[in-house]
Amino acid sequence: MSTLEDSYTISLSPLVLTHPTVSERLRIWKAAYPHWGDALTFDDYITREVKNLEICQESQGNFDNWILTDDSAADQRPLFSSCETFKKRAFICGKEGGLRDGTCCAVASVFTFPEYQGRGYAKKMMTLLGQEIRKFADFSVLWSDIGPKFYHSVGWKPFESTFIQLPAISHNAIFEDGLEAIKIEDLPHLIKRDEKILLKQLEVPSDKIRVLILPDLDTIKWHLFHEAFSCQHVLSRKPTIHGAIYTSPNYPRAQIWAIWTRKIYGQECESNTIHVLRLVIEDENISSDALKRGISTLFRMAQKEANEWACGTVEIWNPSDRVRKAAEGIEGLGAKLVTRENHHLSSMLWLTEGSIDEVDWFCNEGFAWC
């Protein structure tokens, strides 16, 4: 999410954090294209950013662009650094219990123009941004692509970030009975069910302050837009399967489902990934055998989808210990746990009661990334 760590800090007192004009935003997109355009042509990348902006602005003003600049006139001022922020629905449960609504501000697309890199502009921007976010949010999150140190130095503490990685499979997989594909029309109902499940789990007593970013419909639709756009422009087709749901014959009321998207970075499958946004286990008391069967059939379907969509791997972010053990114990699945060190490191700026060291980031899965 960031292109370069600043190597030193200089005096930046005359600088201001503000919003770009339309033409300034276009300048940012043009400069960022070599870093984030991936397999899209330049024109397609600009089109995607315009449509992304329209979608985000429709979500009740929950999106903003930011620039670090000076006090010169708009459209004549220099653009030093830029970023985006997304307001996300959240819930917080204190040590003594008591669930309450919260607001999370997710930071993305941190960028410093090449001619200004290494001068401390990104650090100044993030410092000022933290002050702005403090006015309306309980906490802020971001995903660092430059290791843990830089963002930690401006307040965003890195959290442990792991993922299960599975290889794509080209052979015909054998699925358990009770597996169904998730289509677009299934998502609203499943997401509402998931919210009830998550809030019930969040209220379980803990010695930590527990926080949850909600995987609501707007969040999932944002990921689906990016998936559809990339698939159409790179692979010339759009997906209709957005995950799978498994119903155990022995536990019909304890369904397990996964919602995923395809991250398409090019024609070569090695760089493309099936990204599991959310893995839901409806009843945590489901037997280990039933869980293993469900995980096996869901993950094998994701592997099959990966092969059909030119993806080399499947990723499931920050799995629970139970899911990890189940996946690692399935013969032929090829699951391995990877600990992140430099890329997609989840990090949090804590802005409300207590200390960041007391915070448990609950359900830190792929849907929250932006």
Q: Do 120 and 230 reside in the same domain of the chain?
A: no
Domain boundary residue, one of 101, 131, 158: 158
At 286-309, the pLDDT tens digits run 999 999 999 999 999 999 999 999
Residue 356: inside a domain:
no
Q: Do 128 and 243 reside in the same domain of the chain?
A: no
Q: Do 318 and 337 reside in the same domain of the chain?
A: yes
Q: Do 137 and 149 reside in the same domain of the chain?
A: yes
Split into its structural domains, the chain has a count of 2
Q: Do 119 and 168 reside in the same domain of the chain?
A: no
pLDDT score, position 4: 45
At 237-256, the pLDDT tens digits run 999 999 999 999 888 889 99
Residue type, 250: N
Residue 169: inside a domain:
yes
- Residue range(s) defining the domain that contains residue 44: 16-158
Residue 9: inside a domain:
no
Name the stretches of the chain with pLDDT < 70: 1-13, 60
Q: Do 69 and 212 reside in the same domain of the chain?
A: no
Q: Do 337 and 198 reside in the same domain of the chain?
A: yes
- CATH number at 170 reads 3.40.630.30
pLDDT score, position 205: 84
Q: Do 99 and 236 reside in the same domain of the chain?
A: no
Q: Do 291 and 249 reside in the same domain of the chain?
A: yes
